[in-house]
């Protein structure tokens, strides 16, 4: 129900007054508290973190859209995702929530920071609008000097983001693409927006072929093993088959 004439924030909330951009369970705080108490990963997992009980209550402030997306994530083993926003020209990557709870901005990298920075860079450098030599600032933030990518929490903290939830509750690595200075482009501008993003969307999807992939099998039966935990030295974030 939004319009530029009534302000960019109009339409951000659902009819019930819920901001879907902040509506996922905060798993970050539980992880960081466990890390501070040296409980990770032996007593508290560094991946597939369970959803807190309070979040599952019927009277919890959780939109049906959010519950549906979580159910979708749990049914399908996604490994790569991007959500598309408007109002800026930048690609953000997790964490979206600052580790210091009272800070509005703070660099808060994940254990897979190098991978996330690569994924964001792949999109930003192939996006025609972001890579243009005539690129101008959308507002007051100068993302150009950072290559049009930024750690989400280092821009502004977003507790309960889908990016952080995807990373901590599933195997999925997710980024946010702010793909236009204009939050409400006119229909006549959509073909241009498509051309700006077509190649970057394709290149981004191709990144699923990076890294180690294969099947974990039982040595004797050669049957696939579900829920096998794969750990990589030096990266405090495991993956499950």
Give yes or no for a contact between 20 and 63, defined as CB atoms under 8 angstroms apart: yes
Cis? peptide before 41, omega within 30° of 0? yes
Q: Which domains does the chain have, with CATH numbers?
A: 20-213 (3.40.630.10)
Query: 165 forms bridges with which residues in the sheet?
Result: none
Instruction: Order the strands of the 149-151 sheet from edge to edge.
Output: 80-85, 173-180, 88-93, 149-151
- pLDDT for the residue 6: 54
- Known catalytic residue at 178: yes
Q: Distance between CA atoms of 160 and 94, rounded to whole angstroms? A: 12
Nearest to 150 by CA among 122, 179, 128, 121: 121
145-204 pLDDT, tens digit per residue, is: 999 999 999 999 999 999 999 999 999 999 999 999 988 889 999 999 999 999 999 999
Q: How far apart are the first and last CA of the chain?
A: 41
Q: Distance between CA atoms of 102 and 86, rounded to whole angstroms? A: 26
Catalytic residue among 43, 178, 189, 222: 178
88-123 pLDDT, tens digit per residue, is: 999 999 999 999 989 999 999 999 999 999 999 999
Structure-token pair, residue 124: 């930003």
Instruction: Output the CA angle 92-106-98, nearest 5 degrees.
Output: 80
């Amino acid at each position: 129900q939004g319009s530029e004439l009534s302000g960019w924030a109009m339409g951000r909330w659902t009819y019930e007054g819920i901001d879907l951009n902040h509506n996922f369970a905060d798993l970050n705080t539980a992880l960081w508290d466990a890390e501070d108490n040296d409980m990770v990963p032996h007593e508290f997992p560094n991946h597939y973190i369970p959803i807190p009980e309070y979040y599952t209550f019927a009277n919890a402030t959780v939109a049906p859209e959010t519950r549906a997306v979580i159910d979708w994530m749990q049914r399908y083993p996604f490994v790569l995702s991007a959500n598309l926003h408007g109002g800026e020209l930048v690609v953000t990557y997790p964490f979206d929530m600052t580790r210091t709870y009272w800070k509005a901005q703070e660099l808060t990298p994940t254990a897979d920071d190098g991978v996330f920075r690569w994924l964001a860079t792949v999109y930003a450098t192939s996006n025609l609008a972001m890579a243009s030599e005539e690129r101008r600032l959308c507002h007051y933030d100068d993302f150009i000097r950072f290559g049009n990518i930024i750690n989400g929490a280092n821009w502004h903290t977003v507790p309960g983001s889908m990016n952080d939830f995807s990373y901590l509750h599933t195997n999925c690595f997710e980024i946010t693409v702010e793909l236009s200075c204009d939050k409400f482009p006119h229909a006549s501008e959509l073909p241009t927006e498509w051309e700006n993003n077509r190649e970057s969307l394709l290149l981004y999807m191709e990144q699923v072929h990076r890294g180690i992939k294969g099947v974990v099998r039982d040595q004797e039966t050669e049957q696939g093993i579900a829920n096998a935990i794969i750990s990589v030295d030096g990266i405090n974030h495991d993956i499950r088959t």
